[in-house]
Every structure is written in C-alpha cells, then in structure tokens.
Amino acid sequence: MRADRLVAVLLLMQARGRVTAAELAVELEVSVATARRDLEALSTAGVPVYPQAGRGGGWSLLGGARTDLSGLTAHEAQALFLLAGPAAGAAPEVKSALRKLLRALPQTFRAEAEVAAAAVVVDPARWGEPEKARPELVEVLQAATVRRRQVRIGYEGRRGERTERVVEPWGLVDKDDVWYLLAGTERGQRTFRVDRIAAATVTETEFERPGDFELAQAWERVVTDMERRRSTLSATVLIAARLLPILRDHFGRHCHVEGHEEDGRVRVRVAAPMALSIAEQLAGWGARVEVVEPEEVKAELARIGAELVGRYG
C-alpha cells in the first residue's frame, strides 16, 4: 500500500539521515523506479526531502538526520497524515507506522496531526450493500508484483474459453470493487480481470518491470481505450442545469457540455455503444430531457414509450 510505504520512507530517512533509491528499494521490496517515485511524491506533497547528486549522495530530510521531525511544518505534517490516514483503518501496519511517526513529531504539531489522520474515512460498502471482500487472488498477485515473480494463470475469456499463460504482474487496480491485473506478456502489456483468473501459481522466475512503467498512467490509457471503444454513437440532449450532475453520473466520461440555451437549459453531448444504450439511459427521465439528435435515438425512445403505454396503459 503506497501510504504505508511513504510513512516507512520518511521513518527510514529520519533514522539514517540520507538514503538512496536503491537502498529504499531493498528495504521496502520494491523496484528502484518505485522507490524513486515515492521520494518524489513526498517532495511534491511538501515534505522537506531533497536529493543530492554525486558520490555519497542520496535523499535527505532538510536539516539532516535528527531524532525528531522538526523539519516538518504544521501544514506538512497534516498533509502527510491526511495522505496516510484513510489507509490506517484497513491496514494495521499503517496505523502502527502513524503512531511511530506521531511520536517523532514536535509536541506542538501532534494534536493537529492526530485530527488530520482521522479526518477521512474510506467506506467501501455502498448503501444497503455489505462490504465486498477482497478476492483471495489479489493477495497472491500483489505479493508476486512486489517480489517481481512471474505468475502462471488460468484465464477464462468472455465466452468461457480457458487459456493458460505466464505473465509478469506489473500492478493491480481496484475499480468499483472489480480488480484488474496489468501485466507484461509475450505480446506486450495486457489487462486481466482478476475474477476471471481461475488459478494463479507464483513461479520463482524473476522479471524486471519496465523502468518507464507508471501504473496510474498505464491504467488511464486502458480506461481511455475502453471508453473509446464503448462510445461509438453520440447524441445531443437538452436538460435543466440543475439535473446535469445526475446526467453525468449516468454517462460518466461520455457527458460533455456543449453550450447553454436561452431558456436556461444546457446542451449536452452523451455517448454509448449504440442508440438503444442511450435511449435506455434516457427513458427514465421522461420529459425532463429532450433529444435533439440523432433520429435513431429518438426512434428507440418512441419504441420504449410505446411498449410502456401498451403494457401499462
């Protein structure tokens, strides 16, 4: 978990005074590139860490090695605890690390840091639904990702066909309780749904993740590609401005404001794979939404309306 690592990085720097990305990679069991990104993330977040180039260089806390973190300002301490706090509820290790860090802070910062750590709660359960347990395979794949070990998986395709392949696990993504594995294969980077992985065996074969691989950026490209393939048809609709946030919830990335009408309504462009998909999303809005074009979406709405009238009169 990244928040856990960032706290660990800060504690190591406090204890040693100066560390290199390679040393952190060994301590935290991550790649050198990941360790370097964590150091840069701390610096970007406002924590006073800085690199020193050359022989004997590395990363240091401003002011050098100390027994406390007096180099942190009150706002910097709050930022760090806000970053790690939400993860503490689900990870005892993070909570333990926060306690250690709290003891290292100057007394004047501790009260606000404690409040910051408890200022955000992550509740993964939706209203009226129990919290979904993390798939067991996630732990297996996560460990293989950290240890940089290839994994032999049995994967079920959309039509139920099963194949076996050896992959290099590069990262995991949790998208609305559905887990995805981004991995290297013989054909390049591929994305696998974890709930379609029937079996996974971690091998002892090591791999090196590409140095330019960034999980967040790679996932963004996956999402963009998927959304582009899912959105082959668009429609222009008019809707009251106050209802725009709800429409955006329905269509997500495929909802773009194009302008405003004289009557106060908003002109919006929405998209989906086909006319029926758009009509099904809009049918429940009744007269609160007006479809300007295309004609095939209007026709689908008319057909759905006729079916409802025929059934319920």
Q: Tell me if 141 sits within 8 A of 180, measured CB to CB.
A: no
Structure confidence at residue 67 (pLDDT): 39
Pairing, β 162-175 against β 18-19: unpaired
Please report how many Cα atoms fall inside a 13 Å half-sphere around the Cα of residue 236, on the Cβ side: 11
Q: Which CATH number is 231-312 given?
A: 3.30.70
CA distance 174 to 160: 23
CATH 1.10.10.10, the chain: domain bounds? 2-117
The pLDDT value recorded for residue 1 is 44
pLDDT confidence of residue 98: 67
pLDDT at 146: 83
Numbered ranges of CATH 3.30.70 in the chain: 231-312
What is the topology classification, in CATH, of domain 136-214? SH3 type barrels. (2.30.30)
| pTM (two decimals) | 0.49
DSSP for 187-239 reads TEEEEEEGGGEEEEEEEEEE----TT--HHHHHHHHHHHHHHHH--EEEEEEE
Helix (H, G, I), strand (E, B) or coil at 122: coil
Structure tokens at 273: 């794979």
Q: So what's the pLDDT on residue 66? A: 46
133-155 pLDDT per residue, tens: 677 888 899 888 888 899 999 99
Question: What φ, ψ does residue 212 adopt, rounded to 5°?
Answer: -95, 10
Cβ(1)–Cβ(91) below 8 Å:
yes
Architecture of domain 2-117: Orthogonal Bundle (1.10)
Please give the pLDDT value at position 299: 93
Going by their DSSP bridges, the two strands 58-61 and 188-193 should be labelled as unpaired
Residues 6+ positions from 143 with CB-CB distance below 8 Å:
202
pLDDT (tens digit, 0 to 9) for every residue of the chain, 313 residues total? 455 677 677 777 776 777 888 888 887 778 888 888 888 877 766 677 777 776 667 888 765 434 355 456 666 666 666 666 665 555 666 666 666 666 666 565 666 666 666 665 556 566 666 666 677 888 899 888 888 899 999 998 877 788 999 999 998 888 877 889 999 999 899 999 998 999 999 999 999 988 888 888 888 888 888 777 666 788 999 999 999 999 988 888 789 999 999 999 999 999 888 889 899 999 999 999 999 999 999 999 999 999 999 998 7
